[in-house]
Structure 1
Amino acid sequence: MEKTIYDKELGTILLRTSPRATRYTLKISKGTITATMPLGGNEARMLAFIRENKEKLRAALDKHPARPLLTEETEMQTATFRLHIFCTDRDNFYMKLDDGVLHIACPNQTDFTDKRVQELLKGLLEKALRHEAHRLLPSRLFNLATQHGFTCTGIKIFNSKSHWGSCTPRRSINLSLSLMLLPWHLVDYVLLHELCHTIEMNHSDRFWSLMDKVTDGKSQALRRELKGYHML
């Protein structure tokens, strides 16, 4: 069983029953609360459980708000382009990256609240970010490696939703295409972070000492700044 209710303070709440659930639980994802109860659970009890935890839920929603929809009003500046979404007299969606602007044309009467439209727009944005990441990140990484005396055996670009980057024991570095959503000084911070892992594979004091050395003592400030950004 699944149904959606709306609370004026908490927003959209998805009520669901799961055969694997053994207790009443609440989870927040992308600004939506999912309330799960066992088979045979009591909806009134579930709603009471939500009311009992309303303050905690409000605080959690403040930390994990819903991502805004991609629409004609969206303003987004990435490392290399500005996003421009617009509607025009055409039958399909079209994307063009030109002179620092990613133009995404949508048919007139496009319903931007439609989940399928949002997935399509995110897919086009992801394609552009992947193109820019492949075009720019490898040379930037190897230049930083040369500048600071690191050895990197390889680089891969992927679409991680949880890590900006990672380093393997063989000193190969994986980078998320979402790095292209960051300003360049934070891109360099992530690249240097992974390069430091080619020497120190953990986050020991030695690692952070090395990070301070290659960031002029700004590693912690840059780390805090990075937490204010989200992946695609």
Structure 2
Amino acid sequence: MTHPVLGEIECVRSSRARRVSIRVRASGDVRLVYPCGVSEMRALAFLEEKIPWVEAARERLSHRRAALPPQLPPAEEKVRVEMLRRAAKADLPVRIGRIAAETGLRYAKLSIRASRTKWGSCSGRNHISLSLFLMTLPEHLRDYVIVHELCHTVHHDHSPRFHALVDRLVGGREKALSRELRAYAIR
């Protein structure tokens, strides 16, 4: 649908949604998701209330995109990704092994992927996946992401107990490291 202020909006009724939510993608596209028990009219009323938030989010994303280096031609990007993959395969297994030994946290399996949406993830079976783009981060932030994922082997959520564990393992610097990490984009 076309919104008079925001332009094209993707409206999605979802049986999995528990509440009305708005997502602004990096491109500036807006997606409005709402549960089956909520009318489209009520979801759109929620969107109307959030127009200033959507515009602010678009502005932040626009500044972030402008700060990124220009994209490489596809052939050069492929070479760059392969270089990062080799570096990640040499560095990340050793790094996670060291940090796991230091913290006493155990994981079942490690995979390294070209994920552009997350720095890392941990499955319910304690399989940790790390993005090869971690290699673009300073070493202390790579370590922070690994500690974060290892802590998910104990708490499979982002509960206060999870954050307390991460904070303890990074010497009380979780918030500062998280804030620093947000300044980086996966590219």
What is the aligned partner in structure 2 of residue 160 from structure 1? 115
Runs of 4+ in 1 over 3 A off after TM superposition: 26-30
Give 5+ residue unaligned stretches, structure 1. 1-21, 35-52, 71-116
The CA deviation at 1:168 is 0.8
The code of the aligned residue for 1:182 comes to L
The CA deviation at 1:33 is 6.7
What is the aligned partner in structure 2 of residue 88 from structure 1? none
Structure richer in strand, relative to its length: 1
Structure richer in helix, relative to its length: 2
SS in 1 for 2:66: coil
The code of the aligned residue for 1:120 comes to A
TM-score (norm. length: structure 1)? 0.56
SS in 1 for 2:73: helix
TM-score (norm. length: structure 2)? 0.69
**Separation in 2, partners of 1:182, 1:33:** 25
Note closer, same or farther for the CA distance 1:224–1:66 as it changes in structure 2 (3 Å cut). Answer: closer
1:162-217 Cα deviation digits (max 9, x unpaired): 10000011111000001000000000000000000000111111011101111010
What is the aligned partner in structure 1 of residue 66 from structure 2? 65
What is the aligned partner in structure 2 of residue 23 from structure 1? 2
**Residues 114 and 131 of structure 2 are in contact (CA less than 8 Å); yes or no, is this contact kept in structure 1?**
yes
RMSD: 2.6
The CA deviation at 1:66 is 6.6
The code of the aligned residue for 1:211 comes to V
**Separation in 2, partners of 1:167, 1:59:** 31
Equivalent pairs, count: 145
**Separation in 2, partners of 1:200, 1:131:** 31
**Separation in 2, partners of 1:29, 1:65:** 15
**Separation in 1, partners of 2:25, 2:83:** 26
Indicate the percent of aligned positions where both proteins have the same amino acid: 35
**Separation in 2, partners of 1:153, 1:160:** 20
